Every structure is written in C-alpha cells, then in structure tokens.
Copies of this chain bind each other. A is one copy, B any other.
Amino acid sequence: MNYQGILSDIYNESVKKQERGEVANYIPDLAQIDLNKFGMALVDEKGTLYTCGDAKEQFSVQSISKVLTLSLAFRLVGDDLLQRVGVEPSGDPFNHLSLLEQEQGKPRNPLINAGAIVVADILVSQLKNPKETFLEFIQNIANDPSITFDTKVAQSEKKTGFRNYAAAYLIKSFGNLENDVDTVLDFYFHQCALRMSCEQLVNTYYVFANRGKCLQNNPYLDLAQVKRINAIMLTCGFYDEAGEFAFEVGLPGKSGVGGGIVALLPDKFCVATWSPGLNPKGNSKLGMEALEKLTTKTRLSIF
C-alpha cells in the first residue's frame, strides 16, 4: 500500500479547505492554537512511519489520553475495573450528568469524562506516584522520554473545569470515588494536558494495532485486553458521534478537543491526525474527513 502517496493526497486536499470548524474555547490555553495547523502520521504493520504536514508538532492530546489511563488501569486491576465503569456507549450529547445520576454514579464507559475520572481514581489508589508512573508508562511504550505534561494547561483546567468537579462530586456521592475529588482531578487534568505529536501518538497507539506489543516488541497488554480496548474505542471513542465515525470511517479510535485523533486497523496500521478546528460534536473536522478519505482510498476498515 502506497501510504505516503495517500497521505500526501489527503494533505493536499485538506490544506485547501476553508471550513475548518472552531477551536475549543472553554480551555483558555487551547483557544490560542493556529487553526491552519494540519498534520498526519501513520505507522504500518512493519513499523514504517509515514507523515505529512505538522506531524512533528506537539499539541494537547486531551481525551485521547483516556485510552492510555484505561490501559494502565486494565493492567493493574484487570476486570475488576468493570465493577466501577461500564462498556456501553453513552450516546448522549448533552446529559452526561443526567445519565450518571440515573445510573447511580457508575459511568457508562471509560472514555467519557465521568468514566475517565473513575479510571483516574483507580490509578491514584493503585500507584504511589500516579502522575510520574503514568508518564513513564507512555514514555516506555513510545520509547520517547521527551513526552511530558503541559502543567500550564493542567492548571488552567483546574481553575475552570467546573463540570468535571460536578461529575467527580456526583460520583463520590454515590460512593464510586475512593480518593479526594481534588487529588483525582489533579491527576485527571494532568493526563489531559499531555503534549504529543502525531508521530508520538502513532508510536504509542501502535500497541493497540499490534496485539499489545510496542514498536520495540515489548508486550504491554495481552490480546484479550487489546481487543476489548479497541472495542471500547469503536463504540465510545467519539462522544455522541461514535456511530457516525464507525459508519463513515470504520476504525477504532479516539479524539480529543485539542484537535487530535488517533485510529488503527488491527495488524495493519495506526494513524493520527491533528487539525485544531472542531465540528459541533467536538471532534476535529478535518481529522474526521482525513480518516474517511484514508479508509476510502485504501479500501481498508474493520468492516
């Protein structure tokens, strides 16, 4: 497959686009990003890397990090995790807290904010130095010690993330949060504030396309875990647009409000896009389109 040619075509089509969506403005530090950025990276089953555009520029991965905390929690507590968080799509644009209240503090899945907060609580309980250990976990998978948190973004979210506080306190009121809200959210805001480039993202998420082994062939997850995490990404990875992404793209993946998306085809490739403009559902507009083009041009998808 001529991945480089395909990426170049997509790049050329994408940079001409006028309609780029809008940058997330509720996190002050993200609102400054240049709307014209566009990058893409793909690593194939042999580990060969293909890139285009701003593939080396780091950005705030935000919710994309939820797959990584989930993976680490899965390693640490296994299926016990499923006692505290579900695996069903939430399918609801507006009412995240309503659903959480209705289901008595057990979040629908680990990729919505409430679910990721419970996963963060598990990591805080399990790890002595949660932030440090989590960062090392990623650096190891990616074989890249330069990956780090943007503490300024983390602080910014701590001051304005009232809805995450509301979710965490609601979960706590139902007895599904072991640690202090402030401690858990400090970890949560740091995980969201990870800075990575498209290249670093594919180097990391390659593990989910490669049956649990990283590019250096070290095992991080077993096959059953990888399958299940991929299944959660497919059904829950794009907020209330998960069905649409499965329908139009057909790959497990995860997006973040920083404008990044990572997706993968098991045994074939892992791909990441970055374009900061979001569509009304909070997913990168050009990124979604680029991945649609990729699966159309390659005729490859899980379906």
Contact = CB atoms under 8 A, between A and B. Distances in A.
Given A97-B170, A243-B86, A227 B163 contact: no
B102 A95 contact: yes
B98 A101 contact: yes
A242 B166 contact: no
A90 interface: yes
Total identical chains: 4
Given A163-B173, A303-B252, A90 B87 contact: no
A223 interface: yes
A178 B250 CA distance: 32
Interface in A199-242: 223, 226-228, 230-232, 234-236, 240-242
A34 interface: no
28 contacts: A87-B247, A88-B89, A88-B241, A89-B91, A89-B242, A95-B98, A95-B102, A97-B98, A97-B101, A97-B170, A98-B101, A98-B102, A163-B169, A165-B169, A165-B181, A166-B167, A166-B173, A169-B169, A223-B299, A228-B303, A231-B243, A232-B246, A234-B303, A235-B242, A235-B243, A236-B243, A266-B303, A302-B302
